[in-house]
Amino acid sequence: MSKDFINSDKLATGEELHYILNDILANKEPIALNDLSRLCKEKSLNLAFAFEDTLSFLQLTGLIKISSHKSVSRSNAEDLNTVDFVGLLLHRTIAYLTKRKIVKRIFNEDTISTDIKNGNCVLHTTNIPAEYPFVKVFLLNTGIASVIENSNDKLLLSPSYSKYFIINPPGTGPVIMPGRKPTFFISYANSDKHYKEQLQNHLSGLVNSGLIESWDGSAIMPGEDWDAEVKEKLELAEVVMFLISSDFMASDYITNVEIKKTMERHMRNEVKIIPVLVRPCDYTSLPIGKYQILPTDAKAIEVWENKDLAYMTVVESVKKILKKM
Instruction: Write out the chain in H/E/C secondary structure.
Output: CCCCCCCCCCCCCHHHHHHHHHHHCCCCCCEEHHHHHHHHHHCCCCHHHHHHHHHHHHHHCCCEEECCCCEEEECCCCCHHHCCHHHHHHHHHHHHHHHCCCHHHHCCCCCEEECCCCCCEEEEHHHCCCCCCHHHHHHHHCCCEEECCCCCCEEEECHHHHHHEEECCCCCCCEEEECCCCEEEEECCHHHHHHHHHHHHHHHHHHHCCCCEEECHHHCCCCCCHHHHHHHHHHHCCEEEEEECHHHHHCHHHHHHHHHHHHHHHHCCCCEEEEEECCCCCHHHCHHHHCCCECHHHCCHHHCCCHHHHHHHHHHHHHHHHHHC
The DSSP bridge partners found for residue 166 are: 177
pTM, 2 dp? 0.58
CATH class of the structural domain 183-324? alpha beta
Give the Cβ contact number of residue 213 at 10 Å.
16
Cα dihedral across residues 295, 301, 303, 305: positive or negative: positive
Topology, domain 14-82: Arc Repressor Mutant, subunit A (1.10.10)
Cα angle vertex 237, ends 299, 95, to 5°? 120
Q: pLDDT tens digits, the chain, 325 residues: what are they? A: 455 777 888 888 998 999 888 888 887 788 998 888 888 888 888 777 778 889 889 988 888 888 888 889 888 766 777 778 888 888 888 878 877 778 888 888 788 887 655 657 888 888 988 888 889 999 999 999 998 887 778 888 888 787 676 544 444 443 444 455 677 888 999 999 999 999 988 888 877 766 677 766 555 555 556 677 778 778 778 889 999 999 999 999 999 999 998 888 888 777 889 999 999 999 888 888 888 899 988 899 999 999 999 999 988 888 887 777 6
What pLDDT, on the 0 to 100 scale, is given for residue 225?
61
176 within 8 A of 121, measured Cβ to Cβ:
no
Residues 131 and 157: their CA atoms lie apart, in Å, by 21
Residues 278 and 232: their CA atoms lie apart, in Å, by 26
What pLDDT, on the 0 to 100 scale, is given for residue 78?
65
Residues 49 and 84: their CA atoms lie apart, in Å, by 27
Residues 229 and 45: their CA atoms lie apart, in Å, by 30
Domain map (residue ranges) of the chain:
14-82, 100-177, 183-324
What pLDDT, on the 0 to 100 scale, is given for residue 306?
92
277 within 8 A of 244, measured Cβ to Cβ:
yes
